[in-house]
Amino acid sequence: MDLVASIRDAGVVGAGGAGFPTHVKASSRAEVLVANGAECEPLLVTDQWIAARHAREIAEAMRAVGTRVGARRLVFGVKAHYHHVIDAIRPHLDGDTPIELGCVGDFYPAGDEQVLVHEVTGRVVPEGGIPLDVGVVVNNVATLLNVRRAMDGVPVTRKDVTVAGLVAIPGVYDVPVGISAAEVIAAAGGMTDEAAAVIEGGPMMGMLRDDLSVPVTKTTGAYLVLPSDNPVVTVRRNPHATVFRRALAVCCQCRMCTDQCSRALLGHRIAPHLAMRALLAAGAQAVDGLDASGHRFAQPSGVEIPPKVRAMGYLCSQCGICEAWACPLGLSPRYVLGDFKAGMLAERLANPLRDRPDTALEAQAWIRVPKPRLVERLGLKGFLLPHEGVPVVVADPWEVRLNLKQHVGAPATPTVQVGQRVTVGQCVARIPDGALGACIHASMNGVVRAIDAVSIRIERTH
Ligand code: SF4
Ligand code: SF4
């Protein structure tokens, strides 16, 4: 079967990010294929464990996808100090199409695909653009492993997830897609502090997860169980109005956030200090502009945020450097920019910032956030995991809940009925006709007990 069809039928999506359907990327044309093995979020080790254990399969998938997209260069992007990963991939570098090592330093966010593309190719992805705009396709190493499995007809039904922090047995867990967060944490021996908070994802970009019944998806990367007074938790617990009031009250316009912004350093026209200045100009009305839920900043009448400042929300990667690292006053420009973007999306306003810088700022080469310092700053040093190991396989739970939208695009359309028996690997939801999306497969044997607009619930029968 054609590679693209195999990837599509296996439901492969970007495992390390938003879940862009991989068959669409594999259908494109590109000069360079980059494997992203530069995992950079503090505490996360999933990609390192995967890359060290499955280097051969990842190399095979790189060659297959590289051939399909017409790539003349294959680059394995990895942190220079991930020696165990480099040792594992090195025997697989030579071949019909050689694979280059693209080693990067130990900084955050080296694994951001736009940063990685610049590091290993020297190309700058345009504002609001994607790597393909500069002839590069980037696939995370876990995604490439799923591609290799798809080549053997094996669909995506499981996910490797880092579980770290205040649990009895931290590590990487190989779990069925659709298992709940609570069961994954239980598999890790449970929380050792009942008052702890759970972050889904990394400490920089992850979200607070109060409802632990939410299922694992194909893009779930980690559950971090952290003390309730850890800064990663407290900054996310701040009421939204407080974030804005503090911004209004104390931002001194030092512009440290802009000078260290990972996207500004790539030459993009994002300046978080100007977003904060726009709030200052708007005054108290900016806080009044919070919508009824208190969540999002919809531009209220009488508040003029300059359009190009508001549009900076589209250029923000939400990397969190401005908030967790740069701002001496602990303010959250990224939150403000996130709200600007949400407001523009709600008003269906397109991004007017579409420049194509040829080069990054000179300072990009030396303004770096050292990951070890970041770990210290976030109070996470006591929770570090080993760089390599064998994931613990978690047995089938009593039930799984398969979200119909685990990817960029339209929700998948169920192909099964309530009461129907399904087997692991069976397609239970397909891509709607003509839409961008991904198939969903049963992650265990069982019976379909419920289907709604959001998910399919399968109950175990053995
Ligand atoms: S989160 Fe902050 S540092 Fe990161 S891209 Fe957005 S504005 Fe820049
Ligand atoms: S770093 Fe903080 S205080 Fe300085 S301009 Fe940015 S938000 Fe304001």
Alpha carbon nearest to ligand 1 atom 8, residue? 261
CA of 287 from ligand 1 middle (Å) equals 21
Looking at residue 78, its amino acid is V
Residue recorded with tokens 């994002």: 270
Q: How many alpha carbons fall within 13 Å on the CB side of residue 255?
A: 6
Alpha carbon nearest to ligand 1 atom 6, residue? 316
State residue 295's pLDDT score. Answer: 46
In whole angstroms, what is the distance from residue 156 CA to residue 362 CA?
42
Q: Measured from the CB, is residue 332 less than 6 Å from ligand 1?
A: no
Q: Measured from the CB, is residue 338 less than 6 Å from ligand 1?
A: no
Q: State pTM to two decimals.
A: 0.95
Question: For residues 267 and 234, is the Cβ–Cβ distance under 8 A?
Answer: no
Peptide bond into 109 cis (omega under 30): yes
Alpha carbon nearest to ligand 1 atom 4, residue? 319
* Angle formed at CA 209 by CA 205 and CA 211, multiple of 5 degrees: 160
Burial of residue 94, with CB atoms counted within 10 A of its CB: 0-12 exposed, 13-18 middle, 19 or more buried: exposed
Q: Is the dihedral of CA 289, 291, 296, 299 positive or negative?
A: negative
Token pair for 28: 């494109």
**Which fold would CATH assign to domain 399-459?**
OB fold (Dihydrolipoamide Acetyltransferase, E2P) (2.40.50)
Helix axes 333-346, 240-250, angle to 10 degrees: 120
State residue 343's pLDDT score. Answer: 84
State residue 204's pLDDT score. Answer: 97
Token pair for 164: 């770290």
CA of 368 from ligand 1 middle (Å) equals 13
Phi-psi region of 294 (alpha: psi -120 to 50; beta: other; left: phi over 0): left
Ligand nearest to the CA of 327: 2
- Residue spans of the domains in the chain: they are 3-151, 158-230+379-393, 236-367, 399-459
Alpha carbon nearest to ligand 1 atom 3, residue? 261
In whole angstroms, what is the distance from residue 273 CA to residue 258 CA?
6
Lining ligand 2 with CB less than 6 A are 251-257, 272-273, 276, 326-327, 329, 331, 333
pLDDT tens for the chain, residues 1 to 462 = 799 999 999 999 999 878 999 999 999 999 999 999 999 999 999 999 999 999 999 999 999 999 999 999 999 999 999 999 999 999 999 988 999 999 999 999 999 999 999 999 999 999 999 999 999 999 999 999 999 999 999 999 999 999 999 999 999 999 999 999 999 999 999 999 999 999 999 999 999 999 999 999 999 999 999 999 999 999 999 887 788 888 888 999 999 999 999 999 999 999 999 999 988 887 766 666 555 444 445 555 556 788 899 999 999 999 999 999 999 999 999 998 998 898 889 889 999 999 889 899 999 999 999 999 999 999 999 999 999 999 999 999 999 999 999 999 999 999 999 999 999 999 999 999 999 999 999 999 999 999 999 999 999 987
DSSP-assigned letter for residue 141: H
In whole angstroms, what is the distance from residue 211 CA to residue 452 CA?
19
Residue recorded with tokens 């209004």: 248
Greatest CA separation for the chain: 63
CA of 292 from ligand 2 middle (Å) equals 27
Do the bridges between strand 197-200 and strand 207-208 make them parallel or antiparallel, or are there none, so unpaired?
antiparallel
**Which fold would CATH assign to domain 158-230+379-393?**
Ubiquitin-like (UB roll) (3.10.20)
Of the candidates 202, 226, 222, 225, the residue with the CA atom closest to the CA atom of residue 161:
222
Burial of residue 87, with CB atoms counted within 10 A of its CB: 0-12 exposed, 13-18 middle, 19 or more buried: exposed
State residue 284's pLDDT score. Answer: 66
Alpha carbon nearest to ligand 2 atom 8, residue? 251
In whole angstroms, what is the distance from residue 192 CA to residue 121 CA?
44
State residue 322's pLDDT score. Answer: 98
CATH number of 3-151: 3.90.230.10, 3.40.50.11540, 3.40.640.10, 1.20.210.10? 3.40.50.11540
State residue 287's pLDDT score. Answer: 67
